[in-house]
Structures are given as structure tokens and as C-alpha cells.
Amino acid sequence: MPTTLVFGGSGQLGQCLQHVAQQRTITDIVFLPEEQADILSTETLQAVFAEYRPAYVINCAAYTAVDKAEDEVDIARRVNRDGAANLARLCGEYGATLIHISTDFVFAGTGNQPLTETDEAAPISVYGLTKLEGEQVIPQHTERYFILRTSWLYSEYANNFVKTMLRFGKEREEMRVIWDQLGTPTYAIDLAGCILHIIQTDNTAYGLYHYSNEGVTSWYDFAVAIFELGGLPTRTVPIRTAEYPTKATRPAFSVMDKTKAKTQLGVAIPHWRESLVVCMGRLK
């Protein structure tokens, strides 16, 4: 397998990629934490590309603090747009394929039908806007890219909704959770498997893809499933988004259609609850 560089290698998805790479005995993959390979430092990136001359680059590095981004527009844009541009530019120079991770937050979330890659992107938050800008700048520098939009990521690693609910479930008798935002939880191990499948099959169907687990749920129903599988007696109360105000606005409906990923990438996608069972088993 040709050399693959992973930027943001110490984050949740980076750790999941490490886990899956070990399972598949993939060795020609280098995980680069931010302190070693800042995607905003063109000088550092140039040195890294010159040293490794990668065939693939996976960009897991991103500014993901959704609410803080409303106040930190410049840094969010620098990381999510300019960082993506820096990597795309060097991928173009070195003939490497870029696999870039984006988000369902590029959509307004005002519809009620699964979103395809050709549906209009109309972000309603700074985070969503800067991630969309990152998507848009990549094709200006390279034709060899895969952009994977995903949603509601969780895993055994780092901080995420599943681990937060399990912690709160042990501390509190009652949890109030939003029920009027619909989407699909995505087990980051499954996403990591998809990314490595692209590389291992030498896929050249470049472009924009949607990847989440299958099915539809609300944050409330997701929490209920977590407490149930975790054996926690926590009482879960559904609330509306308006009852839990946040700085950034979230899409009310961000269920994505994965037909293109299944046909063009040749991946089988599990249902969200099936993958949650797997993750909960590993957390126990």
C-alpha cells in the first residue's frame, strides 16, 4: 500500500483510522498530530510532503467548536478553508489523492427528504460556512480528491455525544434532550473503514460523497438508545430546540442520501443502531 499521511491524527477520527489500520495490518500510514504538522504552516507542510511523498492524504484536521466558531470566525475559516487549500495545493503538486472530511452542517436543514450531493448547500452557522468554503477551494488545486460529508460522529475515542450521555446518565436521574433535530449518528470506526477502503481499492471515482450510517433518528431517540444499551435507568425527556438555545443554529433535518457512496465506492453501510451496539460493547 502506498504511503498515506493523516493530518489531525490525534483526534477522534484519526484514532479510529489507527484502530482500523491496525485491524487490517496497514503499515504504510503515518499519523501526524497538529503539533507536528500544522495545516496552516505552508513551510511545515512542504517539508512533510517532501519527506514522505505521499500517495494519499487524509485530512481529519478541522475547527469543530460549532458555537465558539460564531465568535472566532477568522480562525475557523483559516483552519477549515485555508488549511484545506494548503493540503489540496500540495496534493496537486505531488500527485497525491486528498481525502477530506466535511459535514452535514453545510445544509440549512429546512427540508424533509434525504439530502444528495447535488442538493443546494446553504449553511446557517459559521462552522458550516467555513467547512463549505473548504469543500469549494479543494477543486481549485487538485482533481484527485474525495470529499466525504458525515454527521453526528461518535466512537470509543475522544469526546462525543455517546460518551457524554453515558457520563451524565451515571450522574443524573433525568436528561432533557432535543427531539426536533433529525439526522443520522455515524460510528467513526465505520467512516474510517470507508476511507481506508477507498485507498485499498485504489478507487478513482473522485468527487463529493455523503457518508453516515443508515437510518434516521433524533438526538432524543439516540440518547434513549444509549441509556438502554448502557443499562442506565436515566429518565429521558424530549425538548424542542427552542428550549435549549445555543450560539450557533443547527440544521433541523440533515439526513443524507448515501446512494452515491454505496454505488461508486462499493461500501456497505450499517444501520446506526447496529453500529451503536458495537461501540457500546467496546466501551463496556
Write down all domains in the chain, each with its CATH number in brackets. Answer: 4-156+186-213+255-269 (3.40.50.720)
142-197 tens-digit pLDDT: 999 999 999 999 999 999 999 999 999 999 999 999 999 999 999 999 999 999 99
Which position has the grid cell 481499492? 201
4-42 tens-digit pLDDT: 999 999 999 999 999 999 999 999 999 987 778 999 999
| CA distances, 254 to each of 112, 127, 198, 207 (Å) | 9, 15, 24, 20
Pairwise CA distance, residues 224 & 235, whole Å: 9
Cell numbers found for residue 191: 467512516
Predicted local distance difference test score (pLDDT) of residue 1: 61
Q: What is the mean pLDDT of the chain?
A: 97
Q: Which residue among the candidates 127, 157, 187, 220 is catalytic per the annotation?
A: 127
Residue 244 a catalytic site member:
no
51-95 tens-digit pLDDT: 999 999 999 999 999 999 999 999 999 999 999 999 999 999 999
